[in-house]
Amino acid sequence: MSEKETIDLESKEILDNNIINEYNINIEEYSIDELIDLIKTLANHQNPFSISKKVETIKALFYKEINNLNIEEKKDPREEDFKKLYNEYRKNKNEFRKKIEKKESDNLKTKTEIIEEIKGLTSEIELKKDTFNKFRDLQKKWKTTGHVDIRFKNDIWQTYNHYVEVFYDYTKLNKDLRDIDFRKNLQEKEKICIKAEKLMSVKSLNDMHHQLQELHEKWKDIGPVKKEIRDKIWLQFQEASKKINKKRNDHFLEIKKNDKKRFNEKSKICEKIINLSKKEFNSHKECINAIEECNSLSKKWKSLGRVNKKDNKICWKKFKETLDKFYYNKNQFYKKRKVNNEKTIDLKNQLCDEAKKLEKNTDWDTATKKYIKLQRQWKATGFVNRKLDANLWKKFKKSCDNFFKYKKEYLNKIEQDELKKINNKKDLISLISNLKKTKEPEKDISLIKTNIEKWNKIERTKNSLKIDAEFNKACISFLKNLEIDKKLIQKETTLVSASLLNNNPKELSKRKSTVRKEINEKKKEINLFENNKSYIVITKEKNPLLDRIEKKINSLTTDINQLQEELKILNSI
């Protein structure tokens, strides 16, 4: 199949309604006035085609909100304002369409004239000196001329390509110039083939597809190559295009498959809502539970996402009908409950009293949970007279606000106290870190103990383990630099570490357990080495292995003594 028979020409390069970067905002929760303001900003958009889907979405949401209003008037006056703005947008869109059609018509006329001129060049009996230059100028003019209507795009390009090939193949051009042009065109087409093959690695399918179409447009603007390699280079480009199109088609098939799955799941959810709407509520609690279940199902339905445009309309229609049935049943239930208004008022007054009692409760966690529970109960009490309900709510809310105000003040004070304790501890760490030893080690040790006592008098903080470790490290570092017996240093460092656990029973218990475990493990090691000694034959000569075992046993014994001393200190705390 030839190149000109298989090129798939694309439609106009107008922004896709599904890809709108400008005004990329969530309008699902917009009020009626906000929707009016939004369409007002879009009505005279410079490219109305690019926002047509957004405008239709705004229109659907607007009328949904208007229809949901429970008002006695026949018509909301804002609807007339919206209609005027919407019609203004449609007028702008129609004018924009006419401009495009006019431009495309002019482009078609220009391209037809170019083809006629090329055709005229090929019919000249003698090759004039400037014939090739005229041909070049016509090619440039073709490239700079914009798009034509999609109905004529394929035919006009094929006609153009035909006469270009005729010009190269049948006119008596200078062979050197023709060969140079052929080589240049071949190089350009080979570059396009390489670019097309690399498109398979592009992550965005839309980008990949649009770039491929751009390459096809560029291909069409490049002149022919030698006749004997035309099919070969075209087949190379065509093969890359097929792979890209297959990848895109596979993606859309997967989307279609997922759409069907989502459609079925949404239908099942609608069936569940229909079953809910068939229930007869015997109590307010049952109705609330059903509403919560319905809301949960609705949330799940929406979370499944959109399906294709056709099925999406069916889905939304079915979903709306099922919700209408459920809420009709719910409304009927509450109409019957109007006679029980006094009970609802009593319940609200009771909640106000309970909230007032909790107002100055300093058991913050328990009181907070109770307030949250009271607020949930308030939401579930139902509706009474609007003015009365507003007064009761004001009374209830005041108690809630007062409690959370007191709680916030308390937490702020706790936070300030915490910061003060941390700063005091950091000051002690800085003091020990910058402490210089004297010639009297006993006084230095006494000074460390005094600062440890100061440290322990400061209450624990949120990050006690970390800051205790920093203080412990500073104290031990200072003690190790003192010119005293190593055993005394070991004892004092152990006392320091143990003293810091004085205010932390949990860590103290954990450390005791660790020390006991280490003592037992080292005792087991000693027993193992003692057992191994019994297998060594004693001779008069020194036995290096026996010496190493004895050293290891002595080392372990020393470690055990140190650990036992530490355990003794820990037990004394």
Backbone phi, psi, residue 128, to 5°: -85, 165
Contacts of 245 (CB under 8 A, 6+ apart): 212
Q: Can you tell me the distance from the alpha carbon of 276 to that of 269, in angstroms, rounded to the nearest whole number?
A: 11
Pair 437, 482: CB distance under 8 Å = yes
At how many degrees (to 10) do helices 78-122 and 150-170 cross? 20
Q: Tokens 């929406």 correspond to what residue?
A: 302
pLDDT value for 339:
66
Q: Measure the CA angle with vertex 146, ends 144 and 151; round to 5°.
A: 140
- Cα torsion angle, 464, 466, 467, 468, sign: positive
**Spatial CA neighbour of 148 closest among 109, 97, 94, 116:** 109
Highest mean pLDDT: which of 187-196, 222-231, 424-433? 187-196
pLDDT digit string, tens, across residues 100-121: 888 888 888 888 888 888 887 7
Q: Can you tell me the distance from the alpha carbon of 362 to that of 193, in angstroms, rounded to the nearest whole number?
A: 76
Q: Can you tell me the distance from the alpha carbon of 301 to that of 295, in angstroms, rounded to the nearest whole number?
A: 10
pLDDT value for 126:
54
Confidence of residue 127 (pLDDT cuts 50, 70, 90): low
> How many CA within 13 A on the CB side of residue 300?
15
Q: Can you tell me the distance from the alpha carbon of 119 to that of 167, in angstroms, rounded to the nearest whole number?
A: 8
| pLDDT top residue among 9 and 435 | 435
Confidence of residue 31 (pLDDT cuts 50, 70, 90): confident
Domain-wise residue ranges, the chain: 1-173, 180-339, 385-503, 506-573
Confidence of residue 19 (pLDDT cuts 50, 70, 90): very low
The helix (H) or strand (E) run that includes residue 485 is none
Highest mean pLDDT: which of 123-132, 294-303, 434-443? 294-303
The percentage of residues in the chain with a pLDDT greater than 70, rounded to a whole number, is 83
Give the largest CA-CA distance in the chain.
125
pLDDT digit string, tens, across residues 137-186: 888 888 888 888 888 888 888 888 888 877 777 555 556 667 777 888 88
Q: Can you tell me the distance from the alpha carbon of 379 to that of 396, in angstroms, rounded to the nearest whole number?
A: 12
Confidence of residue 16 (pLDDT cuts 50, 70, 90): very low
Pair 207, 247: CB distance under 8 Å = no
